[in-house]
Amino acid sequence: MSATLPLSSPSPLPLPPKNPKNPRSIQASDSQDPINALLHYLHVVSRGRSPAKIVFISAMKACSLRAAKAGQSLHAHIVKSGFAPDRFVASSIVAFYSSCGRLGFARQVFDAVPVKDAVLQTAMLMSYVDNGELAVARRFFDEMNERDVVAWNAMLSGYIRHGLPEEALELLRDMQITMLRPNEVTLVCALSACSQMGSLALGEWLHGYIDKHLGASGKSPTLGNCLVHMYAKCGRLDIAFGLFVQQKPKNLESWNTMLTAFALHGCGMSALSLFSQMIKLGIWPDRITFLGVLMACSHTGRVDHALQCFNFMTRVYGVEPNADHCGCMVDVLARKGLLKEAREVIKSIAFETDASIWGALLVGCFTYADYDLGLEAATHLVELEPWEEGRYVALSKLYEKVGRIEEAMRVRKAMDEACTERSAGRSVIEVDGVVHEFIAGDRSHYRSKEIYSMIEILCLNFELVDQHDEAMYGMWNILR
């Protein structure tokens, strides 16, 4: 399943149609629901009536989203009204305290309920997961006497969100043993794990399972987007684009997924062509769309398109650029040697700059030998990420480039003191359906001797190429 990638040269970024479908108006109306729930609760109380259970639950959910300070007062009212032991009410209270990061209170509410069903237990499990307590969450999950598919999904999504795809897939195998049938959320988590690991074979198996059990009609846009993302992350951009073309209906996430996949794979022209098409169809872009467009401009070196996009974001589409957008804009300019312009973009940023922005500038400074500006960028990076060894190395090299050897030695010494625990590089590759993990300096792989022998051969060949290039460069200077 593949399709021809759009490679036509895109025209300048198009303006939106006269009557675009702006989803922000829909989001604005949806955001009123929590407020309406609280207003309804206050209306009932002001009339001297005791709120029903459903009113308490809706109001407590609203407090989790919009009114954290009112949540404790509402909890007190629930206790006085005698609804605290109710499993459904307790679940909403647990979710509220979880949203505030107060797991101790959430656990007290959970422990006070005499009969704990799957809904309440899953609410407590999700509290641990949402607050990053995965080890505690897993112990709680293993001790649950009743685990439905929602509980399994909660644990799976926790592993995925915290970058633990191996644990997620192992849990998925445990779920299969229980004969519990996965739902769409389970499949989304499984595909995300394949994307993180680059496991194409397992992703293809999941694709076959989806087609067999759900079919084309039962596949939601979210699941379709996950399939597109999985194939793109596993290097099969042709299959990803084929699925995107066939996908009906497409939502904004569908376009963003494909556009970002093109940009990340260096297919800048395809990404820009896709963006032109979505604008002409009246689809309103968001911040993810513009991030993909800026990445595409960076890969294709289209400074004019990038500047136009950066301007359109706020002026036309009402999207305020964040650190990622500014980092991409700096990268576009720095790749073309426009370092002063890149520095001006950084100066114009209203919020605090992060490492990605200064990192993009630093790469350009090394490429175009602007070592003074590079020193400024590297100094900022050391201040922002003092635990990163590479930041000190870059700063030290820059000092050496400008002849400030003492400062370079001082930076090296500071690096040895600050970076006591150095994280080893890690890479993953799938060969014949088996995922192999490699860590820098590790020789535990069963084919380690063959791998290092091949590396030595490659290094030797690279040295020969470098020597050939130097000889040709010297010959060229003589001929000139």
Q: Most distant CA pair in the chain: distance in Å?
A: 98
Instruction: Select from 3.30.420.270, 1.25.40.10, 3.40.190.10, 1.10.150.20 the CATH code of 322-426.
Output: 1.25.40.10
Instruction: Give dist(CA 51, CA 435) in Å, integer.
Output: 56
The pLDDT assigned to 387 comes to 82
Instruction: Give dist(CA 253, CA 458) in Å, integer.
Output: 42
What is the SS3 assignment for 428? strand
Backbone dihedral angles phi then psi of residue 21, each to the nearest 5 degrees: -90, 90
Give me the residue spans of the domains in the chain.
Answer: 30-147, 322-426, 443-479
The pLDDT assigned to 256 comes to 95
Instruction: Give dist(CA 110, CA 95) in Å, integer.
Output: 10
Backbone dihedral angles phi then psi of residue 437, each to the nearest 5 degrees: -110, 135
Instruction: Give dist(CA 363, CA 394) in Å, integer.
Output: 10
The pLDDT assigned to 83 comes to 87
What is the SS3 assignment for 396? helix
Each of the 480 residues of the chain gets a pLDDT tens digit; together they read 445 555 444 445 555 555 455 554 444 433 347 678 778 878 888 887 888 888 888 888 888 776 667 888 888 888 888 888 888 999 999 999 998 888 999 999 999 998 888 889 999 999 999 999 999 999 999 999 888 999 999 999 999 999 999 999 999 999 989 988 999 999 999 999 999 988 899 999 999 999 888 876 667 899 999 999 999 999 999 999 999 999 988 999 999 999 999 999 989 899 999 999 998 998 999 999 999 999 999 888 889 889 988 888 888 888 888 888 998 999 999 999 999 999 999 988 878 888 889 999 999 999 999 989 999 999 999 888 888 888 888 888 888 888 898 888 888 888 877 764 555 556 666 665 566 666 666 677 767 777 878 877 887 776 655 554 444 444 334 333
Contact 97/63 with Cβ under 8 angstroms?
no
Contact 243/2 with Cβ under 8 angstroms?
no
CA distances in angstroms from 160 to 201, 260, 376, 471, listed in the order given: 19, 20, 37, 51
The pLDDT assigned to 262 comes to 94
What is the SS3 assignment for 283? strand
Within 10 angstroms of residue 350's Cβ, the number of other Cβ atoms is 7
Please report which helix (H) or strand (E) contains residue 434, including its range: strand 434-439
Does the predicted TM-score (pTM) go above 0.85? no
Contact 243/235 with Cβ under 8 angstroms?
no
